[in-house]
Amino acid sequence: MRSTHSLRSRFAILIALLVGSLTWLLGTLMGNDASERIREEVGRDLAELSYMMIDRLDRDMESRAGMLQVLGQLQVLGQSRDTAQVRRLLDRLQAEFPSIAWIGLTDEAGTVLASSNGILENVSIAQRPVFLEGSKGLFIGDVHEAVLLAKLLPNPTGEAMKFVDISLPVHDAAGSLRGVLASHLSWSWADEVRQSILEPIQQRRHVDFFVIGSDRTLILGPKELIGQRLHLAALDDLKPGESRWAVEQWPDGTEYLTGLSLSHGHNDYAGLGWTVIARQPLEDAYAPAYEVLRAILIWGSALALLFAFIGWLLAGYFTRPLQQIADAADRLSAGQPSAIPELSGTREIEQLSQSIRHLVESLTNQEAALGTLENLAHHDALTGLPNRTALDRFLLHAQQRCQLTNSTLALLYLDLDGFKPINDRFGHATGDQVLRETAIRLRGCLREGDLVARLGGDEFLMVLMVPTEDALQQAELIAQRTLSALSAPVRLEDQQLQVGCSIGGALWPLHSEQLDEALKLADQALYRAKHAGRNRVLFHSGPTS
């Protein structure tokens, strides 16, 4: 089947595929490498961001605790019972530190003596952890809700307010407990810390911060997730002060680059076991790598088309002489007079045209010689009959045809009677003329599709394809006709010579399913015919298979 694509189009397609494949390969390798680098870089950045935030929270908590410790040592709190003066001090402190939602001073029984903005004054908080733990020493409590206090404090957002407790005992000059300095820090302070860290990077990448408590309960993050436990593999075995990053699948089914840092406190503040988590969607992190890959593929595709067009033009220039040679070769193969043109141009084209011209001349000269050699290779030189090589090939094809048509092969071995005396008396030249005449008569006895081959000397083999139903009858008919034809005298110039023949036959696959065995049976039948008086036909008499 002739190809519908020219060499120049294939050359252009090859260049396009080559450039496209290289672009895709380089783009993929660069994209994968960039993705790995970006993942590691962004992962480390997220781990650093989470560490910055947890460190900031620890430092802020420690500084506020330290501030209250300094405040608790003031004589005005330990000796004075001027509640107005204490209230003014607490109001000023709250004004300076807006994160302090409420601060108050209680007596030794837990009743609030003075507080910022007078909230909860004369109210007992003796049963609250902020008093119970604060009376024993410095107390820093975890995030919690204070329903009563939340109702008394302004809340413009309307969202549930959360607080962190810091309290400590207040003693007089003699060291006796005079009360507890208690404070509630607004948890919104943590969100302000988050915003201050997040704002510079939020324009470049979409990052979310989360804070979870020691029990892995979310205490800062999206409202719908607050209070839920967060189970991430990266949280396991995380040590205080340690930062790490990993690719985690979150409960929403999305994969995120996740950086984590566990609180380790600051100075005397041991921390509350908080963990800060910074995350970024993996797809957002890979976005720069995807952009690079997209740009590479776009430019690579454009270059592939450009180089393919250039290659198409160049291939046309170089293949034009080849087309001229091909046209001349087509005319020669069609039998039209033509000659391979002498082309000038590149050295290779000139050499090719010369080589093809020489090849055509050589092939023309060799064609006749090959025909002669093939005839000699498959035919007997004296009689022109097929030889053993041609016989073997014919038998192979004849078997296949018989299997397809359900036919039978009749195998007839022939041996001339009285040939040796003629050869001895009149010489080999006369014997050769007898053999040539015998070959002519044998051909005349054959039908279309049959074959007679000279096996050597005066031995011949006839191969007939006959219908299976009356195979033996038809084989005997042709054998008798052959016997009659060879019995006629041979006239050579002024001499008349008499020869005959003996014929032994067998049928394949009726007498034997093995072709070699059937040939042996025919040979044995010939042997019996010669010993039975010659000039006769005998077939294998055994049962058919």
CB atoms within 10 A of CB 274: 22
Give the whole-angstrom CA distance, residue 408 versus residue 414. Answer: 19
Give the whole-angstrom CA distance, residue 170 versus residue 177. Answer: 6
Contact of 187 with 163, CB cutoff 8 Å: yes
Task: Kindly give the residue spans of alpha helices, DSSP state H, lying in 468-538.
Answer: 471-487, 515-531
Which residue type is seen at 506? Answer: A
Give the whole-angstrom CA distance, residue 414 versus residue 536. Answer: 10
Which residue type is seen at 90? Answer: L
Q: How many helices (H) and strands (E) does the chain have?
A: 13, 18
Strand partners, 299: none
Q: Which of 317, 304, 305, 301 is nearest to 8 (CA)?
A: 317
Q: Which of 506, 376, 386, 379 is nearest to 453 (CA)?
A: 386
CA distance to 114, 130, 141, 152, 181, per residue, from 120 (Å): 8, 14, 19, 9, 13
Give the whole-angstrom CA distance, residue 144 versus residue 272. Answer: 13
Give the whole-angstrom CA distance, residue 158 versus residue 396. Answer: 101
Residues making up the chain, counted from first to last: 545
Contact of 21 with 308, CB cutoff 8 Å: no
Give the whole-angstrom CA distance, residue 510 versus residue 53. Answer: 100
Q: Which are the catalytic amino acids?
A: 458
